[in-house]
Amino acid sequence: MTLEEKAALCSGKDFWHLETPERLGIPSVMVSDGPCGIRKQADAADHLGLNASVPATSYPTGSCMACSFDRDLFRESGETLGHACQAEELAVLLGPAVNIKRSPLCGRNFEYLSEDPYLTGELAKNYINGVQSQNIGVSLKHYAANSQEYNRMSSDSVVDERTLREIYLAGFETAVKGSKPWTIMCSYNRINGTFAAENKRLLTDILRDEWGFDGYVVSDWGATTADRVKCLEAGMDLEMPGKNAANDKQLVEAVKNGTMDESVLDTAVERILSVTLKYLDNRKPETVIDFEADHEKARKIAAESMVLLKNDGILPLKREQKIAFVGKFAEAPRFQGGGSSHVNSYKVTSALEAAKDLRVTYAPGYAIETAEPDDAMIAEAVETAKNADVAVVFVGITDAMESEGFDRKSLSMPKNHEALVEAVAKAQKNTVVVVMCGGCITMPWLDDVRGVLYAYLGGEAVGAATLDLLFGDVNPSGKLAETFPRRLEDNPSYLYYFGDEQNKTEYREGVFVGYRYYDKKNLDVLFPFGYGLSYTTFEYSDLTVDKTAMQDTDTLTVSVKVKNTGAVKGKEVVQLYVGMPKSRTIRPDKELRGFEKIELEPGEEKTVSFTLSKRAFAYYRTDISDWCVESGEYVIMAAKSSRDIACTATVQVESTTAIKRVYTMNSTVEEIMESPVGREIVGKMMAASPLAQMDDDGLGMGEGMERMMMEMPLRALISFGGDSVPEGMGEMLLQQLNA
- Using CB under 6 A, list all residues that contact ligand BGC: 33, 47, 94, 141, 220-221, 340
Residue 57 and residue 561: Cα distance in Å, rounded?
39
Q: What region, left, alpha or beta, does residue 715 occupy, with left being phi > 0 and alpha being psi -120 to 50 degrees?
A: alpha
Q: How far apart are CA 504 and CA 397, in angstroms?
A: 29
Q: Which is nearer to ligand BGC, 221 or 540 (CB)?
A: 221
Assess contact for 180 and 207: CB atoms under 8 A: no
Classify the phi-psi angles of 625: left when phi > 0, otherwise alpha if psi is within -120 to 50, otherwise beta: left
* Between 62 and 528, CB nearer to ligand BGC: 62
Q: CB nearer to ligand BGC: give 54 or 264.
A: 54
Pair type for strands 451-454 and 504-506:
unpaired
Cβ of residue 230: shortest distance to ligand BGC, in angstroms?
Answer: 21
Nearer to ligand BGC, 338 or 365 (CB): 338
Q: Give the distance between the most distant pair of CA atoms in the chain.
A: 96
Query: In a 3-state reduction of DSSP, which class is residue 689?
Result: coil
Q: How far is the CB of 488 from ligand BGC (least distance, A)?
A: 24
- Give the Å distances, CA to CA, from 188 to 151, 196, 207, 288, 405: 9, 6, 17, 35, 12
The CB-of-111 to ligand BGC minimum distance in angstroms stands at 8
Sheet holding 183-186, edge to edge: 31-33, 92-94, 137-143, 183-186, 216-219
Residue 220 or 509 having the CB closest to ligand BGC:
220
Taking the C-alpha atoms of residue 639 and residue 590, their distance in angstroms, rounded to an integer, is 11
The dihedrals phi and psi of 255, each to the nearest 5 degrees, come to -70, -45
Q: What are the respective helix, strand and coil percentages of the chain, to the nearest 5?
A: 35, 20, 45
350, 505, 513: which is closest to 436 by C-alpha? Answer: 350
- The contacts of residue 627 (CB under 8 Å, 6+ apart) are 614, 615, 618, 619, 620, 621
Partnered with residue 206 across adjacent β-strands are none
Which has the closest alpha carbon to 469: 316, 296, 330?
A: 316
Between CA 392 and CA 727 the distance in angstroms is 83
Among residues 81, 195, 59, 61, the alpha carbon closest in space to that of 138 is found at 81
User: Which residues are within 8 A (CB) of 307 and not within 5 positions of it... i.e. 6 or more apart?
Assistant: 67, 453, 454, 456, 476, 478, 479, 480, 531, 532, 533
CB of 348 to ligand BGC, least distance (A): 22
Which residues make beta-bridge pairs with 627?
620
Residue 240 vs 600, nearer CB to ligand BGC: 240
Cβ closest to ligand BGC, residue 166 vs residue 198:
198
Q: Which is nearer to ligand BGC, 69 or 221 (CB)?
A: 221
Q: What's the rounded Cα separation, in Å, for the pair 402 and 404?
A: 7
User: At its nearest, how many Å lie between ligand BGC and the CB of residue 520?
Assistant: 32
Cα 21 from chain centroid (whole Å):
38
- 172 Cβ neighbours under 8 A, 6+ residues apart: 98, 121, 140, 143, 144, 184, 207
Element (H, E) at 257: none
Phi, psi of 301 (to 5 degrees): -60, -45
Residue 252: half-sphere exposure toward Cβ, Cα within 13 Å:
16
| Residue 239: CA count within 13 A, CB half-sphere | 30
Least spacing, CB of residue 128 vs ligand BGC, in Å = 15
Q: How far is the CB of 112 from ligand BGC (least distance, A)?
A: 11
Quote the least distance from Cβ 340 to ligand BGC, whole Å. 3
CA separation, residue 634 to residues 376, 582, 650 (Å): 60, 9, 6
Amino acid identity at 35: P
CA dihedral 92→98→99→100, nearest 10 degrees, is 180
User: Is 220 among the catalytic positions?
Assistant: yes
Q: Is the peptide bond before 83 cis (omega within 30 degrees of 0)?
A: no
Taking the least distance from each CB to ligand BGC, the nearer of 47 and 125 is 47
Q: Which of 116, 220, 519, 589 is catalytic?
A: 220
Cβ at position 440, least distance to ligand BGC in Å: 22
Q: Which residues contact 226 (CB under 8 A, 6 or more apart)?
A: none
Closest approach, Cβ 98 to ligand BGC, in A, equals 11
Q: Decide whether 186 or 352 has the Cβ nearer to ligand BGC.
A: 186
Closest CA to 150 of 199, 204, 108: 108
Q: How far is the CB of 222 from ligand BGC (least distance, A)?
A: 7
Q: Between residues 340 and 416, which has the closer beta carbon with respect to ligand BGC?
A: 340
Distance of CA 93 to the CA centre of its chain: 19
* CB of 33 or CB of 591, closer to ligand BGC: 33
- Give the shortest CB-563-to-ligand BGC separation in angstroms: 43
SS3 label, residue 90: coil
Nearest approach, Cβ of residue 94 and ligand BGC (Å): 4
User: From CA 676, how far away is CA 673, in angstroms rounded?
Assistant: 7
Q: Which is nearer to ligand BGC, 92 or 434 (CB)?
A: 92
**Residues recognised as catalytic:** 220
